[in-house]
Amino acid sequence: MLFAIDFTTEEVIVSDSPKGSNAVHFVERVPRTKNEILYQAVITLTSITKSPQFDSALFKAMDKVCGMIYTNYKGN
């Protein structure tokens, strides 16, 4: 799963990319009002990518957290 924030609409943009592919496929938009926790987690993920002290292990861990939150959201 790939996550991004649309700050204009306050939505999480969820996409996926098949393993070994450069193609990105849109999955859905999740409004902040539907899942505040996911929205804030993706904000944190985005801030990690902008850090001058980028830590790939931290990024991967936060990406996994975003994936778990999204999976939980889809299960409910």
Q: Which among 46, 73, 71 is positioned nearest to 59, based on CA atoms? A: 46
Q: By the 8 A CB rule, do 11 and 29 touch?
A: yes
Residues 38-56 pLDDT 10s = 999 999 999 999 999 999 9
What gap in Å lies between CA 37 and CA 21, rounded to an integer? 29
* Tokens at 61, concatenated: 């861990």
Residues 2-30 pLDDT 10s = 999 999 999 999 999 988 888 999 999 99
